[in-house]
Structure 1
């Protein structure tokens, strides 16, 4: 039974002991074709990593998302030596209701805390930012620095 295989192997051999590969007229299956897109895609990987780093850099620079302690915050401007210690600003008082909600005399809204910066994102005080100096004390941000207006948590 093995004799016919020897003759067939001899006819397919190229004399060096290696077998000839018979060319096929059949189209190659999609499973046999090399994936040429992988090499092209690998060229863009460093660029994609750099792009992701650029996009996420501002998020890291702004600080972690957090919450502000609940309660009523009373706002005032500093006084001088001839008058009281602070000049009350009752129209600017606000109350932190929950993890992202506040209310004022004029209505309700939402806030976002990133690091030591509190920003009112909706409602009557939308766009205002405060620099948080301690858990119960913050100042209105003026050009990214603590301003004159200060707000102190007075009650829960």
Structure 2
């Protein structure tokens, strides 16, 4: 009995997830742009990359819906029109796309300003 209690105490919490805690992104429209020069000061809008984050880990783009998974600062679109697209959260409303090699890419998507009523 004592052995069982000590093993239970040593076990990691059941809610632990590899990569960090599961979360959701702030809802709203994310507008995407690509860095166009080495300094990062010039950017070109990529409207076809835009998406809208909705409630319950879902997003909409191109008139279709999909879902995403956010663990820690890593977000991947798991279904829908952008399935497989991955990002690293840089700040509250800013995402940096991750390339197939796992390195940060030149595309970033930023949560648009919200207009207060």
Same fold (TM over 0.5): yes
Q: Structure 1 length as normaliser, TM-score? A: 0.58
RMSD: 2.6
Alignment correspondent of 1:122: 79
What is the Cα deviation at residue 144 of structure 1?
2.2
Q: 1:80, CA displacement in angstroms? A: 3.3
Where is the strand percentage greater, Structure 1 or Structure 2?
Answer: 2
Q: Give per-residue Cα distances to partners, 1:36-88, cap 9 Å, x unaligned.
A: xxxxxxxxx9xxx9xx98xx9xx64311101101010000101338xx82111
1:150 aligns with 2:77: no
Find the aligned partners of 2:107 and 2:45 in 1 and give their Cα distance.
10
Partner of 1:108: 65
How far residue 99 of structure 1 moved from its aligned partner, in angstroms, is 2.7
Q: What is the aligned length?
A: 104
Map of 1:62 onto structure 2: 19
Structure with higher RCO (Cα < 8 A, 6+ apart): 2
Runs of 4+ in 1 over 4 A off after TM superposition: none
Higher helix share: 1
The superposition leaves residues 117-151 of structure 1 with CA deviations (integer Å, 9 ceiling, x where unpaired) of 11101101111110101011111112223211110
Larger radius of gyration: 1
TM-score (norm 2): 0.75
Match for residue 20 of structure 1?
none
